[in-house]
C-alpha cells in the first residue's frame, strides 16, 4: 500500500538570509503508512516539531516536496486547505490554544470550519468528547474552569472532531502525572482503533513509544537517524545512548542480564517478551 504521507528530501531553513539562519531539518525522507501507529523520537532540537509541521502544511519546505495520498500538498490552495483537515496536528501544550466561551464551542471550532451542518457538528463534538472522557455537563463549562488534564483532553477532542486520517501529536502527555499520561495514550489508541487512522506520536518517553508504536523514527541533528520496528531500534541501544536517548527499562534490564552472560533476548521491550525470554533459559522456572 502507498504511504498516506511522504516527504521527498525536505529541508527547512528558519530565518533564511539573516544572521539567525538555521537549517532545522535537512533532506528528510519520511513516510507515514496508512493506519499505522508511528513513534517519532529524538533529543531536544533534533527537528521533530519542524518536521511534523510540514505534514499538514503549516510550514512550507524550503526544498523538497510533501505528498499526501501521492499529491503535493502545495499543488493548489484547495489541496493545502483540504490537507489541514485530513492531517490533524495537536501542538505541545495545546490547552493554551483554547479560547472559546465553552468547551463545546472549542471542540466545534474545527468541524465548523469544515462547513459541516449543525447536526453533524453536534454529533462530532459529543463523540470526540466521549473519546477523551469528557462528560456532557463539562461541555457547557468554560474551558478555563477545567483541570489541566481536562483542558488538554478538550484540546485533543477539538482536533479529533475533524476525524483526521492522520493524527499527529507533539508530546501530548508532557507535564501530566502518570495516570493522566496513561489516560491520554489510551484515548489516542482508541481513536486509532475506532477510525483506523494513522497516528504520529512525538514523545521523549521510550516507555510510551514502546507500548504503542508499530514503527519508530529517530531524528538527530535535523535528519532521520533510524527508522524501524521497536525491536530493530531498541537493538541499537549504544547508538541511541550516543544520541542522548535511552532504551525502555525492560530492555535495559535484559541488556544487563545479557552482558552478565545470560542467554536472554537483549532487544525484548515488553514485559511479556522479557518474561518468555527469561523462562526459556535452561533451568528457568516460574513463580506460580
Ligand X SMILES: Nc1ncnc2c1ncn2[C@@H]1O[C@H](COP(=O)(O)OP(=O)(O)OP(=O)(O)O)[C@@H](O)[C@H]1O
**Main-chain dihedrals φ then ψ at residue 163, nearest 5 degrees:** 50, 55
**Measured from the CB of residue 44, what is the shortest distance to ligand X in angstroms?**
4
In the complex with ligand X, the residue whose CB is nearer, 21 or 135, is 21
C-alpha distance across the termini of the chain, in Å: 45
- For residues 125 and 283, what is the distance between their CA atoms, to the nearest angstrom? 56
Residue 23 beta carbon to ligand X: minimum distance, rounded to whole angstroms: 8
Distance in angstroms (rounded) separating the CA atoms of residues 64 and 284: 54
> Residue 98: CB partners within 8 Å, gap ≥ 6?
106, 143, 144, 151, 154, 155, 158
Residue 278 lies near ligand X (rule: CB under 6 A):
no
Q: Tell whether residue 47 is a contact of ligand X (CB under 6 A).
A: yes
Minimum gap (Å) between residue 92 Cβ and ligand X = 7
The least distance separating ligand X from the CB of residue 244, rounded to whole angstroms, comes to 11
Q: Name which of 67 and 243 has its Cβ closer to ligand X.
A: 243
What stretches of 15-115 adopt beta strand conformation (E)?
Answer: 22-32, 37-42, 63-68, 71-72, 87-90
Pick the stretch among 47-55, 115-123, 234-242, 247-255 that binds ligand X (CB under 6 A): 47-55
Looking at the Cβ atoms of 42 and 143, the one nearer to ligand X is 42
Q: Is 46 in the site for ligand X (CB under 6 A)?
A: yes
Q: Which is nearer to ligand X, 157 or 202 (CB)?
A: 202
Residue (199 or 257) nearer to ligand X, CB: 199
99 binds ligand X (CB under 6 A): no
| DSSP 3-state of 1 | coil
- Collapsing DSSP to helix, strand or coil, 25 comes out as strand
Minimum CB–partner distance for residue 257 and ligand X (Å): 31
| Cα–Cα distance measured from residue 45 to residue 220, given in angstroms and rounded to the nearest whole number | 8
Binding footprint of ligand X on the chain (CB under 6 A): 14-15, 22, 24, 42, 44-50
Amino acid at each position: 500500500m502507498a504511504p498516506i504521507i511522504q516527504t521527498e528530501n525536505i529541508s527547512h531553513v528558519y530565518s533564511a538570509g539573516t544572521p539567525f539562519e538555521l537549517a532545522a531539518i535537512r533532506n528528510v525522507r519520511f513516510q507515514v503508512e496508512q493506519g499505522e501507529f508511528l513513534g517519532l523520537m529524538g533529543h531536544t532540537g533534533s527537528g521533530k516539531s519542524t518536521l511534523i509541521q510540514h505534514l499538514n502544511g503549516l510550514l512550507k519546505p524550503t526544498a523538497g516536496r510533501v505528498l499526501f495520498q501521492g499529491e503535493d500538498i502545495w499543488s493548489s490552495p484547495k489541496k493545502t486547505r483540504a490537507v489541514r483537515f485530513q492531517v490533524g496536528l495537536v501542538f505541545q501544550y495545546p490547552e493554551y490554544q483554547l479560547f472559546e466561551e465553552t468547551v463545546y464551542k472549542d471542540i466545534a471550532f474545527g468541524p465548523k470550519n469544515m462547513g459541516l451542518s449543525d447536526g453533524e457538528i453536534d454529533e462530532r463534538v459529543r463523540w470526540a468528547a466521549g473519546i477523551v472522557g469528557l462528560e456532557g455537563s463539562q461541555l457547557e463549562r468554560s474551558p478555563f474552569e477545567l483541570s489541566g488534564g481536562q483542558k488538554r483532553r478538550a484540546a485533543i477532542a477539538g482536533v479529533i472532531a475533524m476525524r483526521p486520517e492522520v493524527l499527529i501529536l507533539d508530546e501530548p502527555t508532557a507535564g501530566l502525572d502518570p495516570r493522566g499520561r496513561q489516560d491520554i495514550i489510551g484515548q489516542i489508541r482508541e481513536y486509532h482503533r475506532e477510525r483506523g487512522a494513522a497516528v504520529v506520536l512525538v514523545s521523549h518517553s521510550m516507555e510510551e513509544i514502546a507500548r504503542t508504536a508499530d514503527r519508530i523514527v529517530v531524528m538527530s541533528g535535523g535528519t532521520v537517524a533510524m527508522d524501524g520496528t521497536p525491536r530493530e531500534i531498541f537493538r541499537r541501544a549504544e547508538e541511541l545512548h550516543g544520541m542522548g536517548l535511552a532504551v525502555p527499562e525492560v530492555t535495559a534490564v535484559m541488556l544487563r542480564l545479557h552482558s552478565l552472560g545470560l542467554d536472554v533476548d537483549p532487544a525484548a521491550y515488553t514485559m511479556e517478551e522479557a518474561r518468555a525470554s527469561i523462562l526459556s533459559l535452561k533451568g528457568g522456572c516460574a513463580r506460580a
